[in-house]
Amino acid sequence: MLDRLFKKKDITTILEEASRSNGGLKRNLTASNLVALGIGAIVGAGIFVITGQAAAEYAGPGLTISFLISATGCILAGLCYSEFAAMIPVSGSVYSYSYATMGELLAWFIGWTLILEYLFACSSVAVGWSGYMMSLFDGWGISLSPRISQSTFYYADGSWGLTGSFFNFPAVFIVAVVGAFLMGGIKQSASINNIIVVIKVCVILLFIGFGFSYIDTANWVPYIPENTGEYGHYGWSGILRGAGIVFFAFLGFDALSTAAQETRNPQKDMPKGILISLLICALLYVAVTATLTGIVNYKELSVPAPIALAIDRAGEGLAWLSPLIKIGAIAGLSSVILVMTLGQSRIYFAISKDGLLPRTLSKVNKKHGVPQNATILASFLTALIAGLFPLQVLNELVSIGTLLAFTIVCISVVILRKTQPDLKRPFRTPFSPFLPLLGAAICIVQMVFLPGAAWIRLLGWSVFGFFIYFLYGIRHSHLR
């Protein structure tokens, strides 16, 4: 029985299945498209939303150190992703890699964790999009009732409650719009994303360039606030917890690997797309965090739209930049939602192709080359969660799921080097096994420093996933 649960899918078989009419998907993405998709997914919630919360609640101005720690772990994981994406250029990302190295049960577990990752990441970004949209509306003198512009539930001091709002309508609205765009095909989606990326990077550079002169260095003192006596609340434990929280900000390159089966030359272009987008985004994150915490005291940044707050605090001198920042943030977060929904739908598609989820989720629209039912399901679930739940709970769940996925990828590279050393590897992670194991260690350390509630929710999600696997997946697995 155990042999059946851990039965591996042969890499040659995976590649043969993908080559048969490419599963109905169309190879339209170039290297530049991949870099833009990576930046589109990475530069978003991390800059426009998470920086404020993580600085205010965990790390203070020292959040720049948190970002450097996360960036190091991400670059190491990115090298491992690049090796797999070039070697196994199919939809499914870590799920497909795990199927070839660790067997079906663990592949299902990581696939289910990826669904958690993309679902809650996308929902979190949609809530942040709603915050910036409401801030923009306020500037225009437009008021939207709190009963349709806030989450249904709130979470504080370990307890849940009702806010009095029906649901977060703006968050639901943007998810529905993005879902409609995705139904038009990967080429159309990539073109829209390219335009949005140019807009938001220009806006971010404007904020860094003009905001620099409004920095009050007194806001950086102390750079690492003294620990309050509570584990993870400032001090070095807060720096590490902040690193775990903002790890979510680098999620985009993981979503990028799910599009390998829609890339023209994945062996060469995937590593370029992953590593170039990571490096660009790491530099932008550190610069924005330093500027943000220099303009506004870190204690005041726990808001859905921290950069908008910083612009407003700068006064008349930056008033002209306020609407541009908010429009740039709204556009930028929209592209994150687009790539995350794309990634989530491709995970459903890949798992369904193996029979572990209903076959209907692998149905591809012949005209647009899109897994339409998987896209509809991804959009529906994201809208539901974004409308109901608050930002903080969503962020913590995403981070722990992301860190777990990255850890498995790093370890899988080492395993596959030992078990199948003769496989063709167009890109090889340098200094293996040292760098992959270092990447896994950095991810594990950040997981340890996440709040206990995040671990409990991950456990609950995992139990639910195994229930689905043993009820449905194990009986319909094509490998069996």
The mean pLDDT values, 10 residues at a time, for the chain of 480 residues are 68 67 63 79 71 86 90 85 79 75 85 84 83 78 75 68 78 90 75 81 88 89 87 86 77 70 76 84 88 90 80 81 80 82 87 89 80 91 84 66 82 86 85 90 84 82 91 83
pLDDT given at position 3: 63
pLDDT given at position 385: 86
DSSP H or E stretch at residue 156: strand 153-156
Q: What are phi and psi of 264, to 5 degrees?
A: -65, -45
pLDDT given at position 26: 64
pLDDT given at position 357: 92
pLDDT given at position 318: 80
pLDDT given at position 45: 62
User: 430's torsion region: left (phi>0), alpha (psi -120 to 50) or beta?
Assistant: beta
Under 8 Å between Cβ of 46 and 387: no
The tokens of 472 are what? 């449905």
Nearest to 234 by CA among 62, 53, 59, 445: 59
The span from the CA of 126 to the CA of 124, in Å, is: 5
Nearest to 322 by CA among 136, 92, 89, 110: 136
The tokens of 149 are what? 């512009």
Number of folded domains in the chain? Answer: 1
Q: What are phi and psi of 110, to 5 degrees?
A: -70, -35
pLDDT given at position 268: 78
SS3 call for 358: coil
Q: What are phi and psi of 156, to 5 degrees?
A: -150, 135
Q: What is the CATH number of the domain that holds 71?
A: 1.20.1740.10
Q: What is the DSSP letter of 215?
A: -
pLDDT given at position 176: 92
Q: How many CB atoms lie within 10 A of CB 190?
A: 23
User: 355's torsion region: left (phi>0), alpha (psi -120 to 50) or beta?
Assistant: left
pLDDT given at position 175: 92
Nearest to 44 by CA among 380, 281, 397: 281
Range of the domain at 213: 2-476
